[in-house]
Structure 1
Amino acid sequence: MTTKNSTYQRTEYPRPQYVRESWQNLNGTWKFSFDDNNEGEKAKWFANPSFTTDINVPFTYETKASGIGEEKFHPYIWYKRDFDIPEKEVGKNVILRFQASDYKTKVWVNGTFIGEHIGGNAAFSFDITNAVVETKSNELVVKVEDSNSCYQPRGKQRWIDENFGCWYVQNTGIWQTVWLEFVNKERIDNVKITPNIDTSSVVFEYKLNGEVDDSWRIDTTISFNSQVVKKVSLNPNRSNATYEVDLLSEIHEWKVMHWTSEHPNLYDVEFTLLKNNEVIDKVTSYFGMRKVSIKNGQVLLNNRPIYQKLLLDQGYWPDTMLTPPSDEAILEDIDKTMAMGFNGVRKHQKIEDERFLYWCDKKGLLVWSEMAATYEFSDEAVENFTKEWLEIMQQNYNHPSIITWVPFNESWGVPNILTNKKQQAFTEAIYYLSKSLDNERPVIVNDGWEHTISDIIALHDYEEVGKVFYDRYKEKDNILGNKIPHNHQKYAFAEGYEYQGQPVILTEYGGIAFKDESGWGYGNQVASEKEFLDRYKEITDAIKSIPYISGYCYTQTTDVQQEINGLLNEDRTPKIAMEKIKEVNDANVDK
């Protein structure tokens, strides 16, 4: 028997980096059906849906929060709900937005096919204006197709019937907010925001929709703490326009307020599009004045070296899996991460909800944004990965908390990268493609293992004994000269590549689990808090004592299903007093 689960409701504005007032949340109870024989399209379910099961969107059918909670994989599923156009929005264009749906999503409105999107991690949208009826209820039908293919970016989702190692129950269908946005045909579709602290300026790249002519004007108002810093106007002559704004002002003695972990200052910005002096679109946003760069083997934040103390964060919750259950749950993870003395997260194998990134922007938590991996190499995998990676970079570019892009991890999807020239070329192509969109952030190619071209050398090593770790890493050339495998198994560089003076960060270590025969963790499990803290301190101090290592990432924030090496349990209760973890992270160690 299926029942509606009303415990979890996602009602927050889903895209806080680009806000319009006119919107409608479509989360909540939808009708739902499995279609294991893939007969729905042929039978025209989109025209006459008769689904009888309820599902709580945006939680996938595998989750308890969905009201279904069935973990068996179903490759074809259908959704249906009705919606009305509010009277005040009549006459506007209607945009249907999905923050994420895994994996191939097809949409019908009132029986009319609207379009499809392929990819499980990026946001996407459809203009459904011509299909809606403003005077009566509209019927929205969605089909999602998924598979166990290792050619599609799937992150930590299993592709066999049972969980194994650190791979978990699959994620099928709508898993982030679905919503409507009501806009004029002539509007500002997007603004790419690039800060430059060296010139105390910010560049806005506007993408406009409609036939631009001399009657158009864009007003941009920048504020800090509710005080107007600058207001500028631009008369665009085409659909893409750029404007650089000098931010120097007298609102503060420092003239420009930078964004840092300790002081995550944000400027508010309002974009107003006018035609013949009449407002036709208005969007609010924000940005942080910060710079990420590399110099002399160190990562710099705002031209100053920063020692990164990161947590590997997989973003799973017991009842909702990949979907954050609420803003409060997001904030709890961020606050506890910072309370334990970490200044950032490596968001592992997941493109996180934009609400998470928003709160990281507000709180000052650094984020490494890592793509969900494929697991086999083919032309199809290259195409799937590349297309979605571009969408994700464009979607999340403006978030100041993101300081590093991580397209590849541990040779997943490029298993023969050590010697295979095609796979090496693919990673180089993604590196340069990423740089063409964003030359402001470091890009890591193959985090953990055999690097090709990469701005940071990120190594993974689950060594448990501090002295053994120190002895292996103390001679820099042994590791970075490819003389020895850095973790007994993998070399730092693929064949044909060599160290070019990049920063070195240990981006996976630890994984210390308490004794539990039913769970999986890295290495030997511990029996007491003292045993845990002794090992944690010993290995963390050893990392800090290596002069050329400029940061670390501990595995991991929470337990996830069968994986039990979190600092927090799945329900977010600490296993160890958080202040004791913080004490180790805060301690200075002689190098």
Structure 2
Amino acid sequence: MPTKQQQSEGISTIPRGEYPRPILRRERWLSLNGPWRFGFDDNNIGLAAGWQMIKLAPDSASPFNRQINVPFAYQSELSGIGDRTPHDTVWYARTFASPRGGLLGLEERLLLHFGAVDYEATVWVNGVQVAQHRGGNTPFSADITHQLCDDVERQVIVVRAVDRNDDLAQPRGKQYWREQSENIYYTPTTGIWQSVWLEPVPVRYIDHVLLVPDIDTCTLRAEIDIAGGGHTGLSIEVEVSHNGEQVTRAVVSANPSTTFLAINMDTRGALPPYGDCGDWSGCVLWSPERPALYDLQVRLLDNAGARLDEISSYAGMRKVSIWNGRFLLNNRPYFQRLVLDQGYFPSGLLTAPTDEDLRRDIELAKELGFNGARKHQKVEDPRWHYWADRLGFLSWGEMANAFNFSREYIERFTAEWIEVVRHNQSYPSVIVWTPMNESWGVPSVFRDVRQRAHLLSLYHLTRSLDPTRPVVSNDGWEHAETDLVTIHDYRDSAALAKGYATVEESLSGKAMGRQIFVPGYRYHGQPIMITEFGGNTVSGSEGWGYETAKTKHDLLKKYAAQVDALVKSDIVQGFCYTQLTDVEQETNGLLTYDRQHKLSPDEVKRITTWKAKTETFGFDESVLDASFRAPHVP
């Protein structure tokens, strides 16, 4: 087992050995990444045959007759298997030594965490089922304390994952349902694809923390859930610091369900002057240009004030709002220069080979002049969000969509989307929610009243879960109620310039042959953004793009002309270029699939930031005094 310092620094021979959940971090934990026994169950006989009861020995053969490198899916090279053949049901097993007297104290519980398992997962410990979870993009945990066997050296974990390749009502994103990837669809991911780890906790422990900033009052709203029962006499303490200097400390009595705190984040008098990063409210603000973060220690105390549990977290004080038809960040107009990012890697597919690869993708995008990304059809690894928060990089929280509409699809999608918002809501870099993309899952939304109702329900559901961020009902076209009008447009630069000269021109045409709004809904002054365009490739590439340039020089000219057409528009308040990297057969990235530059990064950055629209679009700066409060969302 790596030392505490090694784990905290990510210095480990264990694959993806860094702490997996940086927004809710404990000091003691044990990674279960690395070699697991593995087997295909193509005839679906495992349950009846009792595979869940297996007692693994070092030389175990069938049914777990392979070895896999967790957290990489069997389809990936880094898994050690690299089999692209569809297998709907797969099994995993491994042992770990009893943690009694070591990792686990006598009065503690042991939690088993899974970052993500695609799609349906059932987990057993020593033959006892401890968890069942449906949804390939969200984490889940199980208390396995009572399943541990003190009298045996080896504890056995077994996981059964079911990912039906031909189920198009299952949220799957870009994962293709055929054996060979093609067009805009890529190699699928089945089973465990994010980290697995053990974590000891006290009998009563901090289960979840939600952080909601309010820069207008310079307060941070914390919602803290406690697990384990028996909350009488307990209290919550939150200590806030910035750059090692304590800002404030708050203590409140714990509630049986959720404990609410309103923490004063005013740094005046608590910290040295911080340049122009603060504003009149006294907050140190987060933005891509100045990604200032507060560090938090959240403690659960008993009735004598003794510490029962402690987690480390962080928060960014920033605000996203829409005011008078303008998109605002921290109460000022802000032009988003986004890039479409699929989050695929040649050797790991949906799973980044290392934590450094996640960080490097953001650094590469920033080097090209982008201030954020649409993480397209993927719920991203928490470590990516951590680096976006640290490095200053905006992101849109998107869901991996399904393709077919049905009652079962509605139940699956809605339940998983609620989990996505819950787990990603505290990241300051996430500024927009986009549950739906291009009518995937609702292909007949223009004429089917049920599908329109579903689209509208997702908008209001998301707003009810998080009223502090704009919600895009259907990114690309066929919007119902929406806070931003987002359009996908792969026309050439001349057509872009003409199409977005006025609001009327912007909304009069169709996006890729689709109407901008579905029947019953219309434009009422929302900010307009072009959230997919470009997609250019170079002639001779072994793949495809939306437009083909003859040479790399022509590719740069096409990019310059398309960006210029959008930034010159008085209507467009942001763009998202397709795309950051090539992915498999899709060769329209600014970078190759292995993250090599196709063009001079300095030239690309100059174009991306050309006439950078941080100006006010006629916005009256005189309103930005202590009385100004732009609402979060209209």
Could you tell me the TM-score, scaled by structure 2's length?
0.90
Residue 97 of structure 1 deviates from its aligned partner by 0.6
Question: 1:52 offset after TM fit, Å?
Answer: 2.3
CA drift of 1:585 comes to: 1.1
Quote the residue 2:171 is aligned against: 153
Distance 1:74 1:296, change over 3 A: same
The equivalences for 1:477-488 within 5 A come to: 477-480=504-507, 483-487=508-512
Is the partner of 2:529 in helix, strand or coil?
A: strand
Matching residue's letter, 2:380: E
Q: Which residue of 1 aligns with 2:9?
A: none
Mapped partners of 1:332, 1:22: distance in 2: 27
The letter of the residue matching 1:456 is L
- SS in structure 1 of the partner of residue 51 of structure 2: coil
The corresponding residue for 1:3 is none
CA distance in 1, matches of 2:499, 2:591: 30
Are 2:500 and 2:572, in contact at CA under 8 Å, matched by a contact in 1?
no
Alignment-derived partner of residue 97 in structure 1? 113
Q: 1:178 to 1:8 in 2, by over 3 A?
A: closer
* Contact 1:444-1:454 at 8 Å conserved across structures: yes
Q: Is the 8 A contact 2:114 2:195 kept in 1?
A: yes
The aligned counterpart of 1:269 is 296
Q: 1:60 & 1:211 partners in 2: Cα distance? A: 37
* 2:16 maps to 1:31: no
* Residues 171-205 of structure 1: CA deviation (Å, up to 9, x unaligned): 10000001111101211111111110000111111
Whole-angstrom CA distance in 2 between matches of 1:121 and 1:161:
22
1:213 shift after superposition: 4.2
* Corresponding residue for residue 4 of structure 2: none
- Give yes or no for the alignment of 1:535 onto 2:558: yes
1:215: which partner in 2? 233
For residue 13 of structure 1, report the CA deviation from its aligned partner.
0.2
Distance 1:23 1:237 in 2: 27
SS at match of 2:549: coil
Structure 1 position 574, deviation (Å) = 0.4
Instruction: Verify the 8 A CA contact 1:271 1:282 in the aligned structure 2.
Output: yes
1:171 & 1:237 partners in 2: Cα distance? 41
C-alpha displacement of 1:137: 1.7
> Which one of 135, 139, 142 corresponds to residue 126 of structure 1?
142
Q: What is the Cα deviation at residue 35 of structure 1?
A: 0.6
Residue 310 (structure 1) aligned to one of 338, 344, 360: 338
Which of 123, 128, 132 aligns to 1:116? It is: 132
Structure 2 match to 1:285 = 313
CA contact under 8 A between 1:460 and 1:506: conserved in structure 2? yes
1:339 and 2:364 correspond: no
Report the residue type matching 1:460 in the other structure. H
Query: Structure 1 counterpart of 2:328, which letter?
Result: L
Shift in Å, 1:450:
0.7
Question: What's the CA shift string for 1:289-323, capped at 9, x where partnerless?
Answer: 00000112221110011100000000000000000
- Whole-angstrom distance in 1 between the partners of 2:255 and 2:169: 43
User: Partners in 1 of 2:255 and 2:390 — Cα distance?
Assistant: 35
Give the SS at the match of 2:498. helix
Gaps of at least 5 residues in structure 2 are 1-11, 57-61, 618-634
Q: Note the alpha carbon deviations across 1:446-474, whole angstroms, 9 max, x for none.
A: 1001100111111001112x222222232
Kindly state the Cα deviation for residue 371 of structure 1 after the two structures are TM-superposed.
0.3
**What is the rounded CA distance, in whole Å, between the counterparts of 1:209 and 1:102 in structure 2?**
26
Deviation per CA, 1:218-250: give whole Å up to 9, x if none: 111000111111111111242311111112231
| 1:37-436 matches, cutoff 5 A | 37-48=43-54, 50=62, 51-86=64-99, 87-88=101-102, 89-91=104-106, 92-134=108-150, 136-147=153-164, 148-249=166-267, 250=269, 251-253=271-273, 254=278, 255-275=282-302, 276-436=304-464
Deviation of 1:114 after TM superposition, in Å, equals: 1.5
Partners of 2:511 and 2:382 lie apart in 1 by: 35
* CA positional deviation for 1:418: 1.3
Cα offsets for 1:105-142 (capped at 9, x unmatched): 01111111112100100111111111112453200011
Letter in 1 for 2:156: E
Quick check: 1:46–1:141 contact (8 Å CA) kept in 2?
yes
Mapped partners of 1:589, 1:266: distance in 2? 25
Q: C-alpha root-mean-square deviation of aligned residues, in Å?
A: 1.6
1:144 Cα deviation from its structure 2 partner: 0.4
Deviates more, 1:304-313 or 1:79-88: 79-88
Could you tell me how far apart the structure 2 residues matched to 1:161 and 1:421 are?
34
Q: CA deviation at 1:431?
A: 0.8
Give the equivalent residue in structure 1 for 2:600.
577
Aligned equivalent of 2:576: 553
**Aligned AA (2:127):** G
**Residues 337-364 of structure 1: CA distance to partner in whole angstroms, max 9, x if unpaired?**
0000000000000011100000000001
In the TM superposition, what whole-angstrom CA distance separates every residue of 1:25-77 from its partner, at most 9, and x where no partner exists?
00000000001000011000111264121100000000000000000000111
Percent of matched pairs sharing the same residue: 41
For the Cα contact (< 8 Å) 2:502–2:570, is it kept in 1?
no
2:530 is the counterpart of 1:506: yes
CA deviations on 1:523-561 (whole Å, 9 max, x unpaired) are 3x1121211111111111011111111010000010101
Contact residue 90 and residue 134 of structure 1 kept, 8 A: no
Aligned 8 A contact 1:479 1:492 in 2: no
Query: Taking structure 1 as reference, are residues 340 and 213 closer, same or farther at Cα in structure 2, changes over 3 Å only?
Result: closer
After TM superposition, give the deviation of residue 589 of structure 1 in Å. Answer: 8.1
TM-score (norm 1): 0.96
| Residues 31, 197 of structure 2: 8 Å contact kept | yes
Instruction: Figure out how many residues of one structure are paired with residues of the other and give that number.
Output: 581
| Structure 1: runs of 5+ lacking an equivalent | 1-5
TM-fit CA distance, 1:516: 3.1
Q: 1:431 to 1:589 in 2, by over 3 A?
A: closer
Mapped to 2, the partners of 1:212 and 1:400 lie a distance apart of 33
2:542·2:587 contact (CA, 8 Å) conserved in 1?
no
